[in-house]
Amino acid sequence: MVQPINNYTVIDKKLLAGIFKQYAIECRTTPLYEHLSLKIADDPELLELAAFTKDKQPLPNMLFAAVHYLLLNDTQEELADFYPNLKITNRPIEEAFPIFKAFCEKQYDTIKHLIATRATQTNGINRCAYLVPVIASIAAKENKSVHLVEIGPSAGLNLWWEDYKIQYEKETTFVEYGASDSKVVLKTMLKGDFMPRLDQPVNIASRIGIDQNPVDLRQKDQADWLKALIWPNHTNRFGRMEAAVELACDRTQNFLIKGDTIPDFRAAIDSIPRDQLVIIYHTHVLYQFSQQERESFWQMLEEVSKERDFYYINAECTRTQRIKHETADTPVELVTYKNFQKTETLVAITNGHADWIQFIQENWNL
């Protein structure tokens, strides 16, 4: 019998099936995962395996990542034929499920251990495309060097955006920002007619990333897990990640801090002198927080605002944020804490991977 890891048991088959059916909707841009999700939803054995997923972690993401992780290290497996980032093949997706299930049965214990002990990690470096204009605008307005604090940064790749080349595309034209000779090229489509100015450099005074499981990309095992979380048909994302990992291996890792409690977050913020410009941000992290943990985090920010000014950027696709900003996509919100006043501004709308961005011109008075 499945142990009650992640608060699921064998009697929760309908709940587990519903989770995979919903995931099939969310990953329609990845035919392999869409197809497998629907098949897993009707497979009791694979649902029981998925139920071993670590608490607060999304079951489909973890199961698929564990399988992908194993294939990265053994591309000779037949299942790898269905992964475009691993092999060039034309095998029909409809043939994948029996092979996927056989692989899971063969690697049952290994997969079970991976999903019970690992966690999803931030790997969407394209999200820098909406973070950078906000941070640059704040830095220009304040005319100060910036101290960055990222919550849940994983390997901290979104703290080093000045090392990347970012291209904002609009029909046949594009705006380019960053390191022109970088091997890491981020591309996003612009929706709407507004693009914030990016003509002033940003001086980064310091950067701190605080994560419950900081990823050291110099360790192949950890780098492979980060890659495994990328959907296999997103070959451009996979290529960007490999280039970013190579670049990151040349950096010191001392900007990453292990921590996942409110006092940990507060200590990181308080380590920066109060007269300095601080920008706190996170992207697609709060879904791993309970509602109580979210409330405590926001309350901590309110307490910090009584002692200093700072800016807070969040890009979260939680139901609360989507309802608040009346969108089905991911709202990018800037919260300004200045002179004991709090101002919330919707600055952009995007999707989970920042494949496209719509900056909200009427709100761009940062």
Assign 200 a pLDDT band (cuts: 50, 70, 90): confident
Q: State residue 11's pLDDT score.
A: 47
Q: How far is CA 337 from CA 148, 197, 267, 302, in A?
A: 15, 23, 18, 8
Q: State residue 173's pLDDT score.
A: 79
The mean pLDDT of 191-197, rounded to a whole number, is 90
Q: How far is CA 314 from CA 27, 202, 335, 349, in A?
A: 23, 20, 8, 12
pLDDT digit string (tens) for 231-242?
999 998 999 999
Is the predicted pLDDT of residue 213 greater than 70, yes or no?
A: yes
Is the predicted pLDDT of residue 96 greater than 60, yes or no?
A: yes
pLDDT digit string (tens) for 12-50?
888 999 999 999 998 988 999 999 999 999 999 999 999
Q: State residue 175's pLDDT score.
A: 87
Q: State residue 3's pLDDT score.
A: 42
158 or 250, greater pLDDT: 158
Q: State residue 2's pLDDT score.
A: 37
Q: CA dihedral defined by 326, 197, 241, 349, rounded to 10 degrees?
A: 10
217 — phi, psi (to 5°)?
Answer: -70, -10
Query: Which DSSP string corresponds to 32-78?
Result: HHHHHHHHHTT-HHHHHHHTTPPTTS-HHHHHHHHHHHHHHT-TTSG
Find tokens 């703290």 and name the residue. Answer: 159
Q: Does an H or E element contain 142, and which?
A: helix 128-142
Q: How far is the C-alpha of 205 from the C-alpha of 145, rounded, in Å?
A: 6
Q: State residue 287's pLDDT score.
A: 86
Strands 356-359 and 341-350: antiparallel
3 state SS of 285: coil
Give yes or no for a contact between 354 and 130, defined as CB atoms under 8 angstroms apart: yes
Q: State residue 220's pLDDT score.
A: 93
Quote the strand ranges of the chain, DSSP E: 146-151, 165-170, 173-178, 185-190, 204-211, 256-258, 277-283, 310-315, 330-338, 341-350, 356-359
pLDDT digit string (tens) for 286-330?
988 989 999 999 999 999 999 999 999 999 999 899 999 999 999
> Mean of the per-residue pLDDT values for the chain?
92
CA dihedral sign, ordered 118, 124, 125, 128: negative
At position 128, the amino acid (one-letter code) is C
Is the predicted pLDDT of residue 136 greater than 70, yes or no?
A: yes
Residues 6+ apart with CB under 8 A from 71: 77, 79, 80, 83, 86
Question: What residue ranges do the domains of the chain occupy?
Answer: 5-117, 125-363
Assign 60 a pLDDT band (cuts: 50, 70, 90): very high
Characterise 339 by phi-psi region: left (phi > 0), alpha (psi -120 to 50), beta (else): left
Q: How far is the C-alpha of 143 from the C-alpha of 13, rounded, in Å?
A: 56
167 or 253, greater pLDDT: 167
Q: State residue 366's pLDDT score.
A: 66
Q: State residue 355's pLDDT score.
A: 93
Q: State residue 4's pLDDT score.
A: 40
The mean pLDDT of 191-211, rounded to a whole number, is 92
Give yes or no for a contact between 202 and 162, defined as CB atoms under 8 angstroms apart: yes
CA dihedral sign, ordered 150, 211, 244, 82: negative
pLDDT digit string (tens) for 254-281?
899 999 999 999 999 999 999 999 999 9
Assign 112 a pLDDT band (cuts: 50, 70, 90): very high
Q: How far is the C-alpha of 215 from the C-alpha of 222, rounded, in Å?
A: 6
Q: State residue 10's pLDDT score.
A: 47
103 or 12, greater pLDDT: 103
Write out the two tokens for 235: 């070959």
Assign 7 a pLDDT band (cuts: 50, 70, 90): low
pTM of the full structure = 0.89
